[in-house]
Structure 1
Amino acid sequence: METTLLGRLRHRLATDAVSRPKPKDIIRALADDNQAPPDHAGLRDLAESVAPDLTGAGRLQAFLDDPDVTDVVVNGPRRVWVDRGNGLEQTSTVFGSSDELRELAVRLAAAAGRRLDSACPYVDVRLEDGTRLHAILPPLASNGPYVSLRTHRQRAFRLDELVENDTIDPDAHQLLRRIVSARLAFLITGGTGTGKTTLMNSMLSLVPPRERIIVVEDSRELAPTHPHVLSLQSRLTNVEGRGRVDLAALVRQALRMRPDRIIVGECRGVEVTELLSALNTGHEGGAGTLHCNTAADVPARLEALALPGGVPRPGLHAQIASALRVIVHLGRHGSGRRVEQISLIQRRESELEVTDAYAFGRRRPAWTQLQRMLRERDA
């Protein structure tokens, strides 16, 4: 279909204040544009052919509707890749031109209330259905535009479902349940796309319903199956450069909201010090996610995030050792993702040490210590 026609239809629908056009709206716009075929069947077919490019994510919508797809990445108009849990695989879907792809990205951003143009050439925003959109335009994207979409599933997986799809084994399943029950603070770590959010949702769904969970995130992703979850989302500056609310500020606000557990969706900066402070003031059972290659990298990653905030290294180590207990590390294997390590973090003299309690289906050196911690909390 001609892009010019699509452009005119979008303009007409926008003029009529139709944000989510239905088939009848598209048919009316075609008729107003003098593009309506004389017969009913032809009009219906034409409306159906243009509808995907006027609603949702256009030709990418089918991937977002696929329950197996977690990510859709577009590396310019001729290369569309998807991740169905086995790593990225290229599809046969292509766009007619860079302008067509740009129009889609701009439309999706506008639907979420954000600007994407030459003055604001990138955007990171949550769409109405929960999908996370990141887009960046040329010339910053040399062969772009580049578009990344991360799907949002409305239902959190149960831990036993993660056992069925080989993300966790039965022994790890029982350990994770006991960690939540014991209110041990934990971090879920791993690389991009390893399933950190999925596992966090599953573990938080095990929290007793009488407890109040407050989740702090840059962009809302966590949606555990739990009756008492409050989500706080950071805010960027407006066009005047004002109004920014960062994660650190939201963690401070969460402390005043009578939380039983505070969760930071993804620790990316100095807000990690606020989380550590919260966990050190009687708020047990808190958690967060963190990008790491291995569980052993956690101390260095926390230092890299927290030290620029002015916290002395010895003081930071003391906070980490008293606040955090368990690291659950995810990685990729063969045809999917799985929990590779469950480790303890503790202070040894002046340094932090990470010791595996369970890894690759086997008990490791810190197993006895983890079992003792769980028994002490009747878990």
Structure 2
Amino acid sequence: MSLKDRISEKTIQESDLEKEIIKRVKKMIKTKAYDLNPVFNNKEHFKDKIFLIIKKEVEEYFNIANYHIKNEMIERIFYDTCGLGILEVYLGDKEITDIFIQDLEMVIIKNGHKIFLGQVFANMDEVYLIIDRIKENSGKIIDQRIPFLNTDLYEGSRCSIVIPPVSDKVYISIRVFNCLDFKIDDLEKAGMFDGKVKNLLKYFVENKQNIIIAGGMGTGKTTLLNTLIKLIPSDEFINIIQDTPEIKPLNHHYARLLTTRIKSREIDYEINQERLLFETLRMKADRIIIGEIRENISAYQLLQALNTGHKGSFSTIHADSGFDALTRLETLSMEYRQNLDNMMIKRIIARAINVIIYLENQLNGEPDYIKRKIKEIITVDKNLTKEGEYQLTYQ
């Protein structure tokens, strides 16, 4: 049985020696980690450096001959000292997409199935310890005056926390960052689309169509976006703008990643999508990718950029249908450029956007089984009708 299984099932029985080792190494880490605050350093570097410190101290001060016991101990100490406790078990499982915590209880979504794990924490102190570590790493505040926290964890997962008095319990929702390794064949096997749609998606990317991926929360927009990026030729320049580090173009030599920053106790200035899009337009880029269109100014400026030669660009947007994605782009753009009439905005959108892909979660015959699926693929003609409406073709 692996260490992670033993943690998740709470069957670890530590000897007195193991407890002493954990206590000793925790004290050492506490005195040495003052300059390793992940707010100021690369988060993966922070994790690796702390792990090496633990490994060095265990090997130097304690003679543990058994290789597996030693590595289990190092991993356990890391989880307890610097990680997120039992959450590390589930964050490392590539089959898990979502984690929901309500006080001491946990629900996960694994392979599309909702699984109620029941009580996984011994007491609320464990829960609040995890919240404190998330808070410290984010540089943000959460307390009774500000009982909300939205941030990304050190490995990229999105996290939302709500605590009393605005809620009756502590609620932690985590969207697990595990979408990087999916290739287009993986998503076909998972049932997101069939072979015909797979070939259509390949055609869109190869022929540099500007694509908007639409859908509700948790429908797989970022997962599909990452997968489409893998289809881009590796010699093309890609500029990627994102709010959280969800997009990582693996094995792509010419990708530039730009991430927004919010104002916090440690960072006294904000860098938003508008500023990053302005900067990326000054850099050579064959394609521009925005993780999610949220701001009205970035919506309008992206449309302008797509009308000036950046073909084959992608983005995502929250919407209830493919057509609703177009109307959301209209609304956001008109909020920014109020002097433009609706007809002019529609013309700009029609010339900029070639394809809308709409995703939704579908029940797959079982009450607790959810499947992410492409519901609509819409191609947009560059010209409006005489009545000023979009000419749409549903694939």
Alignment TM-score, normalising by the size of structure 1: 0.79
User: 1:103-114 counterparts in 2 under 5 A?
Assistant: 103-114=129-140
Quote the offset at 1:318 in angstroms.
1.8
Q: 332-341 or 342-351: which moved more?
A: 342-351
- The amino acid of 1:217's aligned partner reads Q
Kept in 2, the 8 Å contact 1:122–1:136? The answer is yes
Query: Using a 3 Å threshold, how does the CA distance of structure 1 residues 48 and 315 change in structure 2: closer, same or farther?
Result: closer
SS state at 1:197 partner: helix
Rate the CA distance shift 1:91–1:210 in 2: closer, same or farther, 3 A. Answer: same
Is the 2:214–2:357 contact (alpha carbons within 8 Å) kept by the matching residues of 1? yes
| Residues 1:84 and 2:113 aligned together | no
Aligned to 2:188: 163
Query: Structure 2 vs 1, CA of residues 22 and 278 (structure 1 numbering), >3 Å: closer, same or farther?
Result: closer
Asked if the contact 1:269–1:306 (Cα under 8 Å) also holds between the matched residues in 2, the reply is: no
CA distance in 2, matches of 1:209, 1:228: 7
Matches within 5 A, 1:29-178: 52-74=79-101, 76-86=102-112, 88-118=114-144, 120-140=146-166, 142-153=167-178, 155-178=180-203
Q: What residue in structure 1 maps to residue 42 of structure 2?
A: none
Q: Structure 1 residues 325, 146: closer, same or farther in 2, change over 3 A?
A: same
Give 2:249's aligned residue: 224
1:275 Cα offset (Å): 0.8
What is the total number of aligned residue pairs between the two structures? 343
Consecutive unaligned residues of structure 1, counting only runs of 5 or more, are 30-42, 359-379
Between the aligned partners of 1:172 and 1:199, the Cα distance in structure 2 is 13
Match of 1:14 among 8, 16, 30: 30
Q: CA deviation at 1:100?
A: 2.8
Paired with 1:124 and 1:288, the residues of 2 have a C-alpha distance of 22
| Percent identity for Structure 1 against Structure 2 | 27
Is 1:201 the counterpart of 2:217? The answer is no
Residues 7/244 of structure 1: CA separation in 2 closer, same or farther (3 Å cut): farther
Structure 2 SS opposite 1:340: strand
**Quick check: 204-213 or 152-161, which moved more?**
152-161
Aligned to 1:327: 356
Residue segments in structure 2 that go unaligned for 5+ positions in a row: 1-12, 14-19, 37-46, 59-68
CA distance in 1, matches of 2:126, 2:387: 57
- Kindly provide the amino acid, as one letter, of the partner of residue 289 in structure 1: T
1:339 aligns with 2:366: no
Corresponding residue SS for 2:274: helix
The reply to whether residue 263 of structure 1 matches residue 289 of structure 2 is yes
2:392 to 327, 333, 355: 355
Q: Which amino acid aligns with 1:283?
A: H
Note closer, same or farther for the CA distance 1:242–1:350 as it changes in structure 2 (3 Å cut). Answer: farther
RMSD of Structure 2 on Structure 1 (CA): 3.4
CA distance in 2, matches of 1:110, 1:288: 31
Deviations 1:302-328 (A, max 9, x none): 233332223432332121111001011
Code of the aligned partner of 1:279:
L
Partner of 1:214, secondary structure, is strand
Does 2:211 correspond to 1:186?
yes
Correspondence 1:254 to 2:270:
no
Q: Tell me what 2:237 maps to.
A: 212
Q: Relative to 1, partners in 2 of residues 1:327 and 1:14: Cα closer, same or farther, differing over 3 Å?
A: same
SS at match of 1:254: helix
SS at match of 1:91: strand
Q: How far did 1:331 drift?
A: 1.7
2:288 match: secondary structure:
strand
Q: Verify: 1:314 aligned to 2:343, yes or no.
A: yes
